[in-house]
């Protein structure tokens, strides 16, 4: 079974721009979660989608948004980029059913905001 795939692996943007990151979950997994990882804050939960609906949301500003498609693939968008948005963005998938929520992570997208 293929693992969680995130694209692109690296991105360089400038302040004020927007960016879209993509995540393809493990086949059969219906839950996709997004995390931001920085040296100072560690791994912080952004949001989780299950069956195309946002089911859970972390404490991030509205500039961070996401969506999930019918094939469970997910995208995350960050608008009006700030220098502090530079981070490793990780996507994780899980089956999503009751008791089936162990998460498997992709390799991440490294975003640098200049």
Partner 1 sequence: TQLLEQSPQFLSIQEGENLTVYCNSSSVFSSLQWYRQEPGEGPVLLVTVVTGGEVKKLKRLTFQFGDARKDSSLHITAAQPGDTGLYLCANTNAGKSTFGDGTTLTVKP
Interface with partner 1 by CB under 8 A: which residues?
Answer: 4, 6, 31, 33, 35, 42-43, 45, 48, 50, 55-56, 58, 88, 90, 92, 94, 96, 101-108, 110
Give the residue with the Cβ less far from partner 1, 18 or 51: 51
Q: Contact, 35 vs 44, CB < 8 A?
A: yes
In the bound complex, what is the minimum distance in angstroms from residue 88's beta carbon to partner 1?
8
Give the residue with the Cβ less far from partner 1, 15 or 72: 72
Query: Dihedrals φ, ψ of 102, to 5°?
Result: -65, 135
Q: How far apart are CA 79 and CA 56, in angstroms?
A: 20
Q: Contact, 90 vs 82, CB < 8 A?
A: no
In the bound complex, what is the minimum distance in angstroms from residue 70's beta carbon to partner 1?
18
């Amino acid at each position: 079974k293929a693992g969680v795939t995130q694209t692109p692996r690296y991105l360089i943007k400038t302040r004020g721009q927007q960016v879209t990151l993509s995540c393809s979950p493990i086949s059969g997994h219906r839950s996709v979660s997004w995390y931001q990882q920085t040296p100072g804050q560690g791994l912080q939960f952004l949001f989780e989608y299950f069956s195309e609906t946002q089911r859970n949301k972390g404490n991030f500003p509205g500039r961070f948004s996401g969506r999930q498609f019918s094939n469970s693939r997910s995208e995350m968008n960050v608008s009006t980029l700030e220098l502090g948005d530079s981070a490793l963005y990780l996507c994780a998938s899980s089956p999503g059913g009751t008791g089936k929520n162990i998460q498997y992570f992709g390799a991440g997208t490294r975003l640098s905001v200049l």
